[in-house]
Amino acid sequence: MIDPQPFILSFKLAFIVTGILLLAAIPIAYWLAYTKSRLRILLGTLVTMPLVLPPSVLGFYLLLAFSPLSGFGKFLQDHFDIRLAFSFGGLVIASVLYSLPFMVGPIQAGLQSLPAELRQASYSLGKSGRTTLFRILLPNIRSSLVTGIVLSFAHTIGEFGVVLMIGGNIPGQTRLASIAIYDHVEMMQYGAAGKEAILLFLLSFCIVLTVYLVNQKFKGTLSR
Amino acid sequence: MIRIHLHKSLQSPGGRKSLEIDCDLPAGQLITIYGSSGVGKTSLLNMLAGFMKPDGGSIEVNGKVWFRGGSEQAAKEEERGGKEKDVGVDLSPQARRIGYVFQEQALFPNMTVKENLVYALEKGQRADRIGELTELMELQSFLSRRPGTLSGGEKQRVALARALVRDPDLLLLDEPFSALDHDMRVRMQDYILSVHRRYPLTLLLVSHDLSEIVRVSDHIVWLEDGRVKKEGKPFAVFSDRRVSGHFQFTGEVLSLRREDVVYVADVLIGRDLVKIVCTAEEAASLRPGSRVRVVSKAFNPFIEKML
């Protein structure tokens, strides 16, 4: 039998991370898409870094930062009694950083693909930037939003390096599905690892398939 | 009165060029900005709408300042002994009370026609306005459809209606006829004229096609090389001398054909199609689409009082 706990933990993490990312990525993507500031290049690069950085590098720095021996980790421990290293909270923060480009990228590309006239038309009708964003821009990039949500979700489920570095392997706390598979392989339990692997494979397949199906449907509704 | 005194340096495919517009336009009229493609007409509209910031100058609409260049100008003013420190004004597009009809209409694809109109309502504004405009623009039959399913002419009418919902002081229209065929163009002109008759706003229309604007305009501003070349009533702008023993008309050659020993050109003058006989040499220089001036001596004209 497969132990369901690592899977439940993986999905819980993915839900929380995707929710946080959606809230955080919309303002970042909006700013990156429309600003003329030169800081755009710097922030854009930082947001994209997790795509190219080895997970172990990000994990290493986060581990240092979260450690109660470091300034930041000590501050959290002393003032809020929060310990992020080897905890679920630490996993959430690390995963948000690591999956950020998967949410920001599609939303930014979606916003940039909209004709400038849509925004201008809304402004000329006296509508604020915020109203324009929520009533005009976001509804017209629904497929980008779905892509961002699904990619971030799937990427968080599939994450391994970062969570291993800063989460470790504590059952019920930081033992995610991907870690469980690695653990089984290390202990030569190929049967259990195989079952978990195929389950993760099928789940990921379904998720990506959903992206394509939903995107097709959105394309249909806008031209009808 | 709409006072426009602007300068702006624009990046164009042919290199940098400067736009320097100085004109005072009468309010409440249908004004056309005429000029060839790339002369800066759309940039001028964008500066009026607040989408593009002029390098300097001022825009004043019905006594209200929408834009006035800051620092640099204020400094000069101070040198000349100006008392007040002029900090410059640049109203946001939202604060300018404009309607903007875009060349590509820019209807919101996620909303139906009706939702597009309702979106434009201001807080607390009565919804009667929607019904009134629906009737004026004859949108009843496709209110519940999405913009993606409409024809070019229908989209243009929706865009016009949407721009009017807010009851703007200034309605800006960017090449409103360019995407339409001839019949639709004439109908669209009629819709714009009915708006002009019904509401007391100022219409500012941009066009590069002479034949489509002479008919509807009260006032024309002719741009060339980024400057106002001429402005005034259409007739005054497009004829060289004010009084003469000739009739002069400008028009567009629609077709040219040979009949026996002469050539006959169909020329569109205003709304009228006129057949004009021309010689082989004259015909050789013409082709459909040529802009021509038709001159005739006022030798023995009939004058008839119209009923």
Q: Higher confidence at residue B174 or residue B300?
A: B174
Asked whether the beta carbons of B203 and B192 are under 8 A apart, the reply is: yes
Say whether pTM exceeds 0.90: no
Between vectors from CA B28 to CA B27 and to CA B29, what angle results, nearest 5°? 95
pLDDT in tens, B94-110: 999 899 999 888 999 99
Inter-chain CB proximity A224 and B98 less than 8 Å? no
pLDDT in tens, B172-227: 999 888 878 878 888 888 899 999 989 999 999 998 877 777 778 888 898 888 88
The verdict on residue A64 lying in a domain is yes
Predicted local distance difference test score (pLDDT) of residue B87: 67
Predicted local distance difference test score (pLDDT) of residue B75: 52
The verdict on residue A78 lying in a domain is yes
Predicted local distance difference test score (pLDDT) of residue B230: 84
The verdict on residue A184 lying in a domain is yes
Instruction: Give me the mean pLDDT over the A147-154 stretch.
Output: 90
Predicted local distance difference test score (pLDDT) of residue A18: 94
Could you tell me the CATH number of the domain that includes residue A188? Answer: 1.10.3720.10
Question: Cβ of B295: how many Cβ atoms within 10 Å?
Answer: 10
The complex scores an ipTM of 0.79
Q: 102-141 in A: which are within 8 Å (CB) of B?
A: 115, 117-118, 120-128, 135-136, 139-140
Among A18, A36, A39, A42, residue whose Cα is nearest residue A107:
A18
Instruction: Give all domains of chain B, ordered by start, each with its CATH number.
Output: 2-97+168-238 (3.40.50.300), 246-297 (2.40.50.100)
pLDDT in tens, A55-67: 889 888 888 888 8
Alpha-carbon distances of B94 from A134, B89, B101, B278, rounded to whole Å: 17, 14, 15, 54
The verdict on residue A52 lying in a domain is yes
Q: Which of A95-104, A168-177, B67-76, B165-174 comes out lowest in average pLDDT?
A: B67-76
Question: Alpha-carbon distance B99 to B166, whole Å?
Answer: 8
Question: Percent of chain A, pLDDT > 70?
Answer: 96
Chain Cα centroid distance, residue B111: 28
Asked whether the beta carbons of B203 and B30 are under 8 A apart, the reply is: yes
Listed in sequence order, the residues at least 6 apart from A4 whose beta carbon sits closer than 8 Å to its beta carbon are none
A124 vs B contacts (CB less than 8 Å)? 49, 93-94, 96, 98-100, 163
Of A115, A122, A125, the CB nearest to B104: A115
The verdict on residue A224 lying in a domain is no
Q: Higher confidence at residue B233 or residue B83?
A: B233
Question: Cβ of B11: how many Cβ atoms within 10 Å?
Answer: 8
Predicted local distance difference test score (pLDDT) of residue A223: 45
Predicted local distance difference test score (pLDDT) of residue A139: 93
Pair of tokens at residue A82: 């929060």
Predicted local distance difference test score (pLDDT) of residue B76: 55
Residue A54 has pLDDT above 80, yes or no: yes
Question: Alpha-carbon distance A108 to A148, whole Å?
Answer: 10
The verdict on residue A169 lying in a domain is yes
Listed in sequence order, the residues at least 6 apart from A193 whose beta carbon sits closer than 8 Å to its beta carbon are A181, A184, A185
Predicted local distance difference test score (pLDDT) of residue A95: 93
Tally of domains within chain A: 1
Predicted local distance difference test score (pLDDT) of residue A103: 95
Of A121, A127, A139, the CB nearest to B106: A121
Residue B79 has pLDDT above 60, yes or no: no
| DSSP structure class, residue B111 | S
**Chain B interface with A: residues with Cβ < 8 Å:** 49-51, 92-94, 96, 98-100, 102, 104, 106-110, 119-120, 122, 146, 148-149, 162-163, 165-166
Instruction: Give me the mean pLDDT over the A78-102 stretch.
Output: 87
3-state secondary structure B26-72: CCCCEEEEECCCCCCHHHHHHHHHCCCCCCEEEEEECCEEEEECCHH
Banded pLDDT at A28 (limits 50, 70, 90): very high
Q: Would you put residue B132 in left (φ > 0), alpha (ψ -120 to 50) or beta?
A: alpha
Instruction: Give me the mean pLDDT over the B73-95 stretch.
Output: 66
Q: Mean pLDDT, chain B, as a whole number?
A: 84
- The per-residue DSSP string of chain A comes to ---SHHHHHHHHHHHHHHHHHHHHHHHHHHHHHH---THHHHHHHHHHHHHHS-HHHHHHHHHHHHSTTSHHHHHHHHHH----TTSHHHHHHHHHHHHHHHHHHHHHHHHHHS-HHHHHHHHHTT--HHHHIIIIIGGGGHHHHHHHHHHHHHHHHH--HHHHHHH---TTTT--HHHHHHHHHHTT-HHHHHHHHHHHHHHHHHHHHHHHHHHHHHHHHHH-
| DSSP structure class, residue B94 | G
A118 vs B contacts (CB less than 8 Å)? 106, 108
Inter-chain CB proximity A127 and B162 less than 8 Å? no
Question: Cβ of B73: how many Cβ atoms within 10 Å?
Answer: 16
Banded pLDDT at B279 (limits 50, 70, 90): confident
User: Residue A93's domain spans which residues?
Assistant: 5-219
Listed in sequence order, the residues at least 6 apart from B260 whose beta carbon sits closer than 8 Å to its beta carbon are none
Inter-chain CB proximity B94 and A136 less than 8 Å? no
B51 vs A contacts (CB less than 8 Å)? 120, 123
Question: Alpha-carbon distance A15 to A157, whole Å?
Answer: 10
- Å between B106 CA and nearest CA of chain A: 5
Instruction: Give me the mean pLDDT over the A160-171 stretch.
Output: 85
What is the SS3 assignment for B260? coil
Q: Mean pLDDT, chain A, as a whole number?
A: 88
Instruction: Give me the mean pLDDT over the B52-59 stretch.
Output: 90
Pair of tokens at residue B157: 């009418």
Predicted local distance difference test score (pLDDT) of residue A224: 40
Predicted local distance difference test score (pLDDT) of residue B71: 59
Amino acid at A9: L
| DSSP structure class, residue B149 | G
Q: Which of B30-34, B36-40, B297-301 comes out lowest in average pLDDT?
A: B297-301
Predicted local distance difference test score (pLDDT) of residue A222: 53
Interface test with B, best of A125, A131, A142, A219 (most B CBs within 10 A): A125
Which residue of B lies nearest to A125 if distances are taken between CA atoms? B120
Asked whether the beta carbons of B85 and B68 are under 8 A apart, the reply is: no
What is the SS3 assignment for B281? helix
Question: Alpha-carbon distance B143 to B157, whole Å?
Answer: 12
The verdict on residue A197 lying in a domain is yes
What is the SS3 assignment for B104? coil
